[in-house]
Amino acid sequence: MIFSYNWLQSFFAKKLPKPEQLAEVLTLHFAEVEEVRKEKGDYILNIDVRPNRAADCFSHLGIAREIAAILGLKFQIPDYRLKEDKNLKSKDFVSVEIKDKKACPRYTAKVITDIKVGPSPEWLQKRLIVCGLRPINNIVDVVNYVMLETGQPLHTFDGEKLEGEKIIVRFAQNSEKITTLDGDAFTLDPEVLVIADAKNPVAIAGIKGGKTPEISRKTRIVVIESANFNPRVIRRGSKKINLKTDASVRFEHGLDPNMTEIAINRSAYLMEKIAQGKIAQGLVDVYPQKVFPKIVKLDLNYIERLLGIKIPEKEVKNILERLGFKIKTKKGKFLNIEIPTRRLDVSLSEDLIEDIGRIYGYKKIGAVYPISALIPPRRNLDIFWEDAAKNALKEAGFNEVYNYSFFGEKEAKLFDFTKKGLIEVENPLSNEQKYLRISLIPNLLKNVEKNLRQFPDIKIFELGKVFKSPNTEKRMLAGLLVGDNFYQLKGVVDSLLNSLGISSIWYDDYQAGPEETKLSVWHPQKSAEIKINGEEIGFLGEISHHILSGLTIPAKVVLFDIDFEKLNKSVSEEQEYRPISKFPSAIRDIAVLVPRQIRVEEVLNKIEEGGGTLIRDVDLFDMYEGAGLPEDRKNLAFHIIFQAENRTLSSEEIDKIQQKIIKTLEKNPGWQVRK
């Protein structure tokens, strides 16, 4: 925004600092003084005014007020006391009607008669030119001058060219046309606010005047418009017709409705002096909802807490008064401050404190280290162990999923949940989210159903809440693998539990009750209970065929489902330290043909019984039943790892242990070690 140094000087009796020095001072209070240059015996200050200060500082008067407050100078407001002609009444020349009070909160009109249109005085022309405006005539130049001085845009009409002596503020009709002062034609629509006479639009409200009632050499009666418009309406209209002007820029940022009267009186005063006009008495003023000054309560103690420095009360009051605020009352350490309506940016005590600190000087506020106790947050063990479990599964190659906490009627019937007291949502988003979930399994399997075609190798898990009753919820942890990977998933569960400090893990046969045999989630022969210290905490197994076919999943799926609340009671950060043996290990493989009903755990126990303490680990790496074997038999193949703590085992010693294992296995009826 461009400002004239000489113009700013005119508001003060005392000499202002030099332009460069003044620019340096103002930069501390505005975004930046972008440029200082000499032009036509004056200096131009290009000040980057922040948008929140547009209402009062897009004007020479506003910047002069700031200079007065910053430098502590006495500030003088330009004279606008009017000598009105008692024989003339403004209301006899024009009437005003506002169709939409929200679009135009205030419209003020004043009439000047017997004016003499001609060139403006040289001093006025120079100030306009310095600020980037082209002088036209003394009437138009005055309203432009007052806009630059007060920040309030104005417009003038030839009163004799207004049809019906009316001004109507309304939205344009569809396809209504207007030609502006520049000769540009616009086709309007109902989103554009216009100023109209009894027949046609005579101006685009807040943006540009129309050609029809423009001021000419023959004009004798001038109607001055000084109005306040809704910023959104002007911004929308400006964008719609792709026209931005000095007036529209000011209106778009918001202006004080009370400034209209000050600006119109100032322009009438200048027209009387410059154009020898007669000022008609009174205003035509439509102002339905008057705006009054706000009162903001200021806590003097809060100033120190917010700024970090104690400013004497006397200095605080002095700064507020210099800025134009009025101290209405004082009670203890509280002041009630009246805010001028031009300060649209001030509505909170923090706004006042910002201004106090700004004028007092931010440089006076020293850098002080904050004084506070740095207390580490209390450890949340629930979150800690959740993260530990998630990290263990992610390290095993699983991806975490987040599903909705609901499922639908289809899942309720398929999983036979209808008998378990489902909690129905009162206003479900869809039929597929009708019930609160009582298990994580349905939604995990739906993830498989939707993604299996694109991603055949699916390894996912979820840790979330399930709802057993309206007042009961608990956390569950479930994960799955696609494929015939029961023992692989068992290894993942072992690794997960070990990472949580749990070692007493046991897998027991899962036997479905009589009522759930047909509709059980789990495969009847390929499922197990997961136990810790004899307490069941979850299940591990292959999903039953009838569930997979109901969800049209063509592949096998193995899944674990663990009660995380029970698991949380057994976790521990303590780890048993076992040193790594410095002696090499040896591996032998063994394959055992056993009856189909024999569990792998039973075979493992017999291997460890025969091998004794020299067996370090036993891994199942293959299980086969089918072609080439009797119908009631299955083949289990194991890696046996031998290792001693104090010596290297010889081949002969390992062979002896291997033979002992074979004898132990073959003592069981129907067990045969394959050679």
- For 309, the token pair is 């420095």
Alpha helices in 254-299 (DSSP H): 259-275
Identify the helix (H) or strand (E) that includes residue 564: helix 564-570
Whole-angstrom Cα distance, residue 594 to residue 592?
6
Burial class (CB in 10 A: 0-12, 13-18, 19+), 650: exposed
Asked if 266 and 274 touch (Cβ cutoff 8 Å), the reply is: no
Asked if 254 and 344 touch (Cβ cutoff 8 Å), the reply is: yes
Q: If we measure between CA atoms, which residue out of 512, 85, 68, 20 comes closest to residue 272?
A: 85
Is 345 assigned to a binding site? yes
Burial class (CB in 10 A: 0-12, 13-18, 19+), 581: middle
**What type of residue is 151?**
G
Asked if 449 and 435 touch (Cβ cutoff 8 Å), the reply is: no
Whole-angstrom Cα distance, residue 205 to residue 179?
13
Whole-angstrom Cα distance, residue 354 to residue 343?
13
Is 354 assigned to a binding site? yes
Asked if 168 and 97 touch (Cβ cutoff 8 Å), the reply is: yes
Residues 6+ apart with CB under 8 A from 375: none
Is 351 assigned to a binding site? yes
Query: Alpha carbon 70 to chain centroid distance?
Result: 37
47 to 2, 23, 146, 438: CA distances (angstroms):
6, 8, 19, 65
Is 387 assigned to a binding site? no
Q: Which residues are annotated as a binding site?
A: 345, 351, 354-355
Q: Which residues are annotated as a binding site for Mg(2+)?
A: 345, 351, 354-355
